[in-house]
Amino acid sequence: MERIPILKMGDFLLVTIQVDLYDQLAENLESDLINTIKKFSSKGVLIDISAVSIIDSFMGRILGNIAVMSKIMDAQTVVVGMQPAVAITLVELGLPLNGVISALNVEKGMELLRSKMYNSNDDEEYEYDDNE
Amino acid sequence: MTTRSMSTTTTNKEEIFIVREQDVVPLRNRVKDYALAVGMSILNQTKLITATSELVRNLLKYGGGGKVLIESVVNGRDNGVRVTFIDNGPGIADVSLAMKDGYSTGKSLGLGLPGTKRLVNEFDIRSEPGKGTTVMITKWKNG
Name which residue leads in pLDDT, A90 or A131. A90
User: In this complex, do A23 and B112 lie within 8 Å of one another by their Cβ atoms?
Assistant: no
Is pLDDT at A112 greater than 90 in this prediction? yes
**pLDDT tens digit sequence for B59-107:** 998 899 999 999 999 998 899 999 999 999 998 888 888 887 766 555 4
Cβ of A57 and B101 within 8 Å?
A: no
Tell me the pLDDT band of A8, cut-offs 50, 70 and 90: very high
pLDDT score at A121? 52
Closest chain B residue to A88, measured at CA: B43
Q: How far is B82 from chain A (nearest CA, A)?
A: 18
Assess whether pLDDT exceeds 80 at residue A68.
yes
Q: Hey, are the CB atoms on A22 and B49 less than 8 Å from each other?
A: no
pLDDT at B109: 44
Q: Residue A54: its chain B contacts at CB < 8 A? A: 28, 46, 49-50, 53
In DSSP notation, chain B reads: -----SPPEEEEEEEEEE-SGGGHHHHHHHHHHHHHHTT--HHHHHHHHHHHHHHHHHHHHTT-SEEEEEEEEEETTEEEEEEEEEE-SS--S-HHHHTSTT--SSSS-S-HHHHHHHHSSEEEEEEETTTEEEEEEEEETT-
- By the CB < 8 Å criterion, does A56 face chain B? yes
A110: left (phi over 0), alpha (psi -120 to 50) or beta: alpha
Residues pairing with B82 in the sheet: B71, B138
- Three-class SS state of A30: helix
Question: Which phi-psi region, left, alpha or beta, contains residue B27 (left: φ > 0; alpha: ψ -120 to 50)?
Answer: alpha
- What letter represents residue B2's amino acid? T
Q: Can you give the pTM of this predicted structure?
A: 0.87
pLDDT of residue A116 exceeding 80, the answer is yes
Is B81 within 8 Å of B52 (Cβ atoms)? no
List of chain B residues whose C-beta atoms are within 8 Å of the C-beta of residue A85: 42-43, 45-47
Fold of B11-140: Heat Shock Protein 90 (3.30.565)
Q: Which domains does chain A have, with CATH numbers?
A: 6-125 (3.30.750.24)
A41 and chain B: CB distance < 8 Å anywhere? no
- Return d(Cα B139, Cα B83) in angstroms, integer: 9
- Measured from the Cβ of residue B36, the count of other Cβ atoms closer than 10 Å reads 12
Report the gap between the CA of A42 and the closest CA in chain B (Å): 29
pLDDT top residue among B101 and A80: A80
> Phi, psi (5° rounding) for residue B70?
-110, 130
What pLDDT score was predicted for residue A132? Answer: 46
Write down the mean pLDDT value for chain A: 89
What is the mean predicted confidence (pLDDT) over A48-58? 93
- Nearest alpha-carbon partner for A111 in A126, A93, A97, A94: A126
Q: What is the least distance, in Å, from the CA of A112 to any CA of chain B?
A: 28
Beta bridge partners of B10: B73
Domain residue extents for chain B = 11-140
> What was the pLDDT predicted at A101?
93
Partners of A93 on chain B (C-beta within 8 Å) are: 50, 54, 111, 115-116, 118-119
Band the pLDDT of B7: cuts 50, 70, 90. confident
ipTM over 0.95: no
pLDDT > 50? residue A42: yes
State the pLDDT at residue B105: 56
